[in-house]
Amino acid sequence: MNKNTLDLKTALIKTLHICIGLLITGIGTAFMYDLGWGSAPAATISDGVHVAFRLSYGVAGIACNLFFLAVLIITERKLISVGTILATFFLGFFIDMGIFIISPLQIVDMNTTMRLLMLIIGCVLTAIGLGYYVGVNFGMGAIDGLSVMLNNKTKLSFRTCRWIVDIILMIFGVVMGAAWGIGTIISIALTGPIMQVVITLVEKKIFTRR
């Protein structure tokens, strides 16, 4: 098997793993959407843009992704690859899949204790999915890339960098009029630490960073 064939096989395998990570993220995000207790910071800033500029949710999300992608191109272009395209333009599709998958649970009809459990499950799944696809090291969405870029350029842990990025996103989103709640806070608290563990495991157990 020649080098080109091996490179293509590796690219396809990594793309498949990215899709797995994004599907897990989509399922986790679907839990949070169904609960209505506040979304992850990335969704919060999109909601803020939606409110402030009177754009549709879809257009607001694309606008935010393109803005942060431009920042990533300027600051850390090497983080951009296949995963960037998938995360930027197809995450919504994976979220729709997640909503379909969890729809039989009928979360809105659960009692408060069960809904809180669903919230934690959603936050954990979202963080695992994000960590999984970032750990593949084959490109990442702009917002995830900002966390990695900050980690690369400072001596701060990835966990701390993710907290910084998420808090900034939430603040800007809320200032622009976004809805937020306990789900947003728990998402910020859990995402960074869980992503750091999952990224390390994926890099060591599945892929070797080049």
Ordered by start, the domain boundaries in the chain are 11-204
- Tell me what percent of the chain is helix, strand and coil, each rounded to the nearest 5: 80, 0, 20
Q: Measured between alpha carbons, how far is 181 from 38 in angstroms, rounded to an integer?
A: 4
Residue 210: pLDDT band with limits 50, 70, 90: very low
Residues 6+ apart with CB under 8 A from 50: 56, 57, 60, 178
Do 14 and 134 form a contact (C-beta atoms < 8 A)?
A: no
Average pLDDT over the chain reads: 87
Give residue 202's pLDDT: 92
Is the pLDDT score of 130 beyond 70? yes
What is the average per-residue pLDDT within 135-156? 88
φ, ψ at 36 (rounded to 5°):
70, 25
Residue 5: pLDDT band with limits 50, 70, 90: low
Give residue 3's pLDDT: 52
Q: How far is CA 123 from CA 1, 15, 24, in A?
A: 42, 24, 11
Do 172 and 64 form a contact (C-beta atoms < 8 A)?
A: no
Give residue 4's pLDDT: 55
Do 39 and 47 form a contact (C-beta atoms < 8 A)?
A: yes
Is the pLDDT score of 47 beyond 80? yes
Is the pLDDT score of 207 beyond 90? no
Give residue 32's pLDDT: 86
Q: Provide, rounded to the nearest whole percent, the portion of the chain with pLDDT above 70.
A: 94
Q: Measured between alpha carbons, how far is 113 from 163 in angstroms, rounded to an integer?
A: 27
φ, ψ at 155 (rounded to 5°):
-95, 10
Give residue 17's pLDDT: 92
Residue 209: pLDDT band with limits 50, 70, 90: very low
